[in-house]
Structure 1
Amino acid sequence: MTSPVLELSRVSKSFGAARALIDVDLAVHPREVVAVVGDNGAGKSTLAGVLAGVYPPDAGEMRVDGEPVRFADPGAARARGIATVFQELALCDNLDVVENLFLGHEPVRGALLDEIAMERRAWELLDQLGASVPSVRVPVAALTGGQRRTVAIARGLLGDPRVVVLDEPTASLGIRQTAELLNLVERLRERGHSVVFVSHATSDVQAVADRIVVLRLGRVNGEFEADAATSEDLLAAMTGARPVRRGGGR
């Protein structure tokens, strides 16, 4: 069994009187897709925010390669190899693909932006993901929902992160675009990235995950090996219909 690249141990987070996460344990191993599923209000987005460095935990510990870490902001998380793509994507519709990928991190050659290097790197990232876009110079507003998510994920790959956190990546996508997104997740794993796939769509995560962790009311209420878990197992854990069931680690 390989050592986890990322671990949470008894992590809790509250917003005033609302307890969003309570004693959450999570381990992510190299080249592993770990799905985190749960109903609305289960704490999924808060967990993504903690991993991204948006929310500091109130209690518990986060470790990268076994070393305790505490992220002051998303930049600190990225510096330790954790990139997060949130559901909102945070893309600028009026800018093209290249401008969105490198916004705030543009390479320069002398006093000018290195447009050639940016275009080359943009195509490299999109090719790695098997993405299909008409041009890296088309405005993001002209892309489909699936293409926009791919651009956001490609932006997250700048700096070659070890862990990619995807917050509800298939939300609002059609059947074809969802299939393309799931293929993209498999490509990330094949290229050596670990993936935390945060979603409420159990059928989507079952298609690509190695392990599935269920959150319910801020707590871990089940952990399953994906190839052994049924939809009934996941639904029962999400609703609290059955006692906690835990699967083996990797």
Structure 2
Amino acid sequence: MKKDMMVAWMEEGMLVVPQMLMANYHKLGLNETELVILLQIFSFIEEGKHFPTLEEISGRMTISSSECSDILRRLIQKQCLTIEEGYSSDHIRFESYSLKPLWHKLVDEMMLSKKEKQFEEQLKNEENLYTTFEQEFGRPLSPLECETLAMWVDQDFHDAAMIKSALREAVIAGKLNFRYIDRILFEWKKNGIKTIEQARQYGKKFHQQRVKSSEVKKSSNMVPFYNWLEQ
């Protein structure tokens, strides 16, 4: 749905297409001459001329009409351009160039690039995650600990930032071990905590309850408030 909407916006001129095409044409398998012809056709369409002649297109370039014809044929074969037929209100048949196949390819490439960027960002975050843990533990992680970290990310779908936040909670509590951190992540997930700010507020509330419970114990020897993070 999002892809179709973007293509529609391109068709209607609501998106700045030339810049997007200039940045991505080589990823679509286009060379510079093919790019310029497509931009010329785009320009003609913007001017209201939907089926410029070979002479009109080549007249704006440094290629001949026959070269222009060959390139247009190649662009159609590459599925970057189509020729559509239609009829006017007075039933006169006409032809027009359509760049819709090109817009589809462009959107696909942009969406793929976004996914690749997100994947690279995820890998970078995970690498930083391992480094952060090793720095806090003051030693390399064991194979089992590395497997646990991978499980938190790949199976439990915990965000790297949230795992680091749970690590900080463990450091503050003086319980630097994976079992304790796993318990924190479990409790956060159970209580619908998904952001660092929510985790911070939840931790603040918990520590306040812990201090209050400790004070009550000192004054009345009552059983302290249950620490859900205790092993």
TM-score (norm 2): 0.24
TM-score (norm 1): 0.23
Which structure has more RCO (C-alpha within 8 Å, separation ≥ 6)?
A: 1
- Larger Rg over CA atoms: 2
